[in-house]
Amino acid sequence: MSRNEEGVFRAALKLSGSGYITVKSRDFSSTLLDKASSTATVGVFLPAIPVNPYYKGTVELYADCPSSNLNSVYLGQVRPTRLPNNAYRTVCFAHPSSAKALSATSHRDLSFKLAVNSPTSGVVLDRLVILP
């Protein structure tokens, strides 16, 4: 368990390694996107001591829906260079219209994937929020 955005030890996910690491959500119904906001957010905690203070890596968001022949649809990237170390911050991704269009028909295999490319081990992710 890792310290989550509220400061308690619960369901936050600590990445144990550096480099390119992906984390995939469980599959869910695309009809849930009917109520989706225009942005997605995720809490990011950066370790106290960065390897390089000028490059803290990237956080990217992708969507997968195999039944729609959509694989690794790029939804955006955040560079946490200006985020403070040893603290949680919420980062935002704008949904492109292609992701929102998935709700037009029902698919049960929609998922999101976060890709973290970090030179430092110990990045923590918490609460990917798609709905308002």
Q: State residue 71 phi and psi, 5-degree precision.
A: -130, 125
Q: What is the pLDDT of residues 52-83, one digit of tens each?
A: 778 888 999 998 999 988 899 888 999 988 78
Find the mean pLDDT for residues 89-95.
85
Tell me how far apart the alpha carbons of residues 94 and 110 are, in angstroms, rounded to a whole number: 18
Q: Which residues fall within 8 angstroms of residue 130, CB to CB, at 6 or more apart? A: 32, 33, 36, 37, 40, 112
Judged against a pLDDT cut of 50, whether residue 122 lies above it is answered with yes
Residue 114 amino acid letter:
L
CATH class of 13-129: mainly beta
Q: What is the pLDDT of residues 5-48, one digit of tens each?
A: 555 545 789 998 889 999 999 998 888 777 776 788 899 998 87
pLDDT attached to residue 87: 84
pLDDT attached to residue 132: 62
